[in-house]
Homo-oligomer: A and B are copies of this chain.
Amino acid sequence: MSLKHGLLGLLNDDPQTGYELMKVFNNSLQFFWSVQTSQIYRDLASLENSGCLTSRKEEQSGKPDKKIYYITEKGKEKFQLWLNEYDFSKSLKTRSTMLMKIFFSNNGDKEKLIKSLKEYINVNNQFLSEYKEVADYIKNFKLNDDICHNSRKYWEITLLKGKIESESNIQWALQSLAILKKEE
């Protein structure tokens, strides 16, 4: 589980509203964690309930009220505990509907499978160009911005994962297409 810790992590840097947090997830972090507002608000309520966050309402003219969340000491501790417990082996336990379908595909429609693999390649290529854009953006941050300077390295590493993963997805799909064509 991580959405709650992600919320704590973002609020650790800046007090924000649920809406703003949602945008950070669905813009900057969406390639490794996407969310719906329903979950954001539920988890924020639960974090507030357990004393990891507090909130203040702020009125706005002509717009709905804002509810700004602030991390507490307890929240900071919880976040730090989570952060320093690195165990990446768990991340290898993935579920893949795609592989499940392919596993059963001797009963399936081969032409559709081929079409879908080609589409998969296209989508991965799109991802690659998006990653490239973001990578360029990061490089152009001002060097004298200390906070960015430190976190940039880690941002780079996460982006690199996306890039390498997309490249490997494409390699796999190409080789799979070759296997499928071979035995006709």
Binding site for B on A (CB under 8 A): 1-2, 5-6, 9, 12, 29, 32-34, 79-80, 82-84, 86-109, 112-113, 115-117, 119-120, 123-124, 127, 150-151, 153-158, 160-161, 164-165, 167-169, 171-172, 175-176, 179-180, 183
Interface centre among A92, A113, A172 (most CB of B within 10 A): A92
A120 partner residues in chain B, CB cutoff 8 A: 88-89, 91
As for how many copies of this chain the complex holds, the number is: 2
Q: CB distance B102 to A154 under 8 Å?
A: yes
Q: CB distance A164 to B154 under 8 Å?
A: no
Known: A33-B96, A88-B116, A157-B180. 9 other contacts (CB 8 A): A2-B100, A32-B103, A83-B104, A86-B109, A91-B97, A103-B154, A104-B154, A160-B176, A161-B172
A154 partner residues in chain B, CB cutoff 8 A: 102-106
Q: CB distance B155 to A103 under 8 Å?
A: yes
Q: What's the least CB distance linking A2 to chain B, in Å? A: 4
Residue on B with the closest CB to A10? B104
Q: CB distance A127 to B92 under 8 Å?
A: yes
Interface of A is mostly: helix
A165 partner residues in chain B, CB cutoff 8 A: 165, 168, 172
A32 partner residues in chain B, CB cutoff 8 A: 94-96, 99-100, 103
Residue on B with the closest CB to A155? B103
